Homo-oligomer: A and B are copies of this chain.
Amino acid sequence: MTRPTMEDVALRAGVSRALVSLVMRGSPKVSDLRRSAVLKAAEELGYSPHAMARSLASRTSTVLGVMVSDLHNAFFAEVVDGIDAVAREQGFDIIINTGGRSPSRERRALDSLQSFRPAGLILLSPVVPANAIAKAAEQLPIVLVARSSRVTNVDTVNDDGEQGLGLAVEHLVSLGHKRIAHLDGGEGSQAGPRRRGYLAAMERYGLEPQVVPSEYTDTGGARAIRQLLDAGDLPTALLSCNDFNAVGAISALEDAGLRVPDDVSVVGYDNTSLAALRHVSLTTIDQPRAEFGRLAAEALLQRVRGERTEPVRHLLHPSLVVRSTTAPPGGKQ
């Protein structure tokens, strides 16, 4: 079970350890003769380089750490796909860890990730306090996705949540809705911009805003609806803080005998695969997720290579995806 080292390969190929190192790193200054001898020996021994020893010796790393705040949310999977594509293309590996939306577990994940001394870190929607991020950023390059920051040495990649909710309000207004409520994401990441976008858009159209406290879960959405129903105060359209919340809201509405979109229109946010399922077919706001990942990886690699020290703030344009949960108010199609 003890794995072969460069020494073993060198011995078998009849060359020096340094030469094996050159071959492993694909150096051009190795004769074909030796190269093939080394590769053959490595193959026979089942040798593969020891990434830790390598990075220890070279004082560099080709690893990017990715902290995913919630593995249960497919949103992040697509961001990771984007990150992975860029990283691979540029010769970097990624290692992932998850915080499970819990600050303490996330902090542990961050420590663990950092203990590998990666070249940089991408944090997907982290929930740890800003100062923890700022502190980490003193040690290595950091890019934040789906969370904003004013720290000058971290880059951020976000969608323009204000614009997103603006699009949603516009859509509903154009369908004829006037009573449009927002199921708010509370303390959740990006809930602020979305709420502001909602309020601004409502003001723009001269409509009375109604913010209902809720959260980024389907049970949260359902709870908010029950609250509205209890208060006998149901608007004709609902803007959820995300798709999960929207689906929860729809369930609760249907439980109450109301039909979507005939009685109430519902708009989600994120355009998760959930929303795209024809069975759900949720009108929602799409975020370019893979693009998030690509931009984050590129920003990080720029910093890693020392090409830039100025912070970058990507703010991507969301887009409206109209499906089957929105219609004119009053059931008239």
Contacts and interface: CB of A to CB of B under 8 A. Distances in A.
Contacts of A93: 97, 112, 115
Contacts of A88: 108
Contacts of A71: 71, 74, 76-77, 80-81
Nearest to A79: B71
Interface stretch (A45-53, A125-133, A154-162, A206-214): A45-53
Nearest to A80: B71
A16 interface: no
A76 B98 CA distance: 12
B96 A135 contact: no
Number of copies: 2
B50 A222 contact: no
A48 B48 CA distance: 28
A117 B50 contact: yes
A248 B52 CA distance: 44
A280 to B, nearest CB: 6
Nearest to A74: B72
Interface in A22-75: 46, 48-53, 55-56, 70-74
A46 B280 CA distance: 49
Interface stretch (A175-183, A196-204, A233-241, A250-258): A250-258
A273 interface: yes
In the A-B complex, the 9 residue pairs with the smallest Cβ-Cβ separation, listed nearest first, are: A251-B278, A52-B52, A51-B115, A71-B77, A96-B96, A72-B77, A93-B112, A95-B95, A251-B279
16 contacts: A46-B139, A51-B52, A51-B116, A52-B55, A52-B116, A70-B77, A71-B81, A72-B273, A80-B98, A84-B100, A88-B108, A93-B115, A96-B98, A248-B277, A251-B279, A252-B278
